[in-house]
Amino acid sequence: MDNQARIDFLKQLIEIDTAGGFEDRLAVVLQSFMQEHDVSCRLLPVMKGRSNFYAELGDGNNDKVLAFCGHQDVVKTEDPAKWQFPPFSAHIENNRMYGRGTADMKGGLAAMAIAMAELKDESAGLNGKLELLGTVAEESSKINHMQGAQRFAKDGYVDDLTAAIFAEPTNADIAYAHKGSITYRIDSIGKAAHSSRPDLGFNAITPLIHFYQEQERYFGELVAKYENPVLGRAVPVVTKIDGGEQLNAVPDHAELFVKLRTIPETDNDEIIAHLSRIIANINDQDHAQLSIEVLGSKIAVTTERNAEIVAIAQKAATDHLGHSFNVRGIAFGTDASEMTKANRHMDVLVFGPGNATAHKIDEYIDLDQYLSMIDIYKQIARDYLK
């Protein structure tokens, strides 16, 4: 494919609105594209209108299996009127393509799909297998998101992978580790009463404050005690507090939401168990009704710095971009958290085109970087599966 055809394919994907779902719209385009290049592929339904996409290439003559991974959905566009260009117009200006998903991560997904198709067209002799896994629901804000990655793992598509690259926007830096996360809600039930007679009710906010104080003490100890050499320390953030209905009444309900970014040294299940013990103690001491609802638990992901796939990616980036890029850890999570639950032995990289405009107004991708990443992915596949 020439560069204009490569850009046109990305434009086609950006013009498809997959905000909050509707990934089938994109998956059928990927399927048609792969079939045109004689690449074996199929759609794998996950939910109504939302199918994972799978493609494979190679002879499978050795045990190496490399997966290119990307999600098909994008975050919602809250206020399109604030955009310089319509968010699904794929407008090109000053060598940038603007649009929702250009950076996160249809740019990376398109680059991987084209890399696979071109390898097929060039009759690349891959000694092993190259796969493309396009997921649904990575960007979902709902409880237990990443259902697409979970389904790939559940159905055995991850079991034989020896390495996987997730094309999240890293500005072409190579990330070999990322933090996990725990997202949870603390619910407090009280008893309503008039504010002139608080003794007739039970203020739901009071035990929630007690929990917040105990949680801060616990997290302070946790953060001070554990540090990962690549990812640093865990990062807890209280993201939302809500309670009460009116100014002259004792609130009968309150809730608190927390997002905790975790590291390998801080086990998610142990943290949840400790928080549950804090709640049990407060309920006993204060005669409160606190409860915890875990909205999501994603494990941290790490790969050895000296892993073969890291060195191969570094060389490919240097060869095509003219200089070396950072090799580092990142704070945000990816579908890898779900896939590595099924395969703890595969090496994982997060490595893709795109920049910090992901999720923002006027999101864009640099087209030179996008085009270079196609060739980088091709070289990685050739070198890893040689």
Bridge partners, residue 259, by sequence: 183, 237
Q: Which among 68, 83, 76, 197 is positioned nearest to 135, based on CA atoms?
A: 68
Chain centre distance of CA 53? 17
Alpha-carbon span 141 to 335, nearest angstrom: 14
Alpha-carbon span 126 to 267, nearest angstrom: 38
Residue 373: is the preceding peptide bond cis (ω within 30°)? no
The length of the chain, given as a count of residues: 386
What is the DSSP track for 85-125?
S-TTS-EEETTEEESTTIIIIIHHHHHHHHHHHHHHHTT--
202 SS3 class: strand
Catalytic residues: 73, 138
DSSP state of 3: H
Q: Cβ-count burial of 19 within 10 angstroms (0-12 exposed, 13-18 middle, 19+ buried)?
A: middle
Angle at 209 between CA 207 and CA 211, to 5 degrees: 70
**Side-chain half-sphere exposure of 97, counting CA atoms within 13 A:** 30
Q: How many CB atoms lie within 10 A of CB 293?
A: 12
Which token pair is 169? Answer: 């926007």
Q: Cβ-count burial of 177 within 10 angstroms (0-12 exposed, 13-18 middle, 19+ buried)?
A: buried
Q: Which among 214, 193, 211, 210 is positioned nearest to 202, based on CA atoms?
A: 193
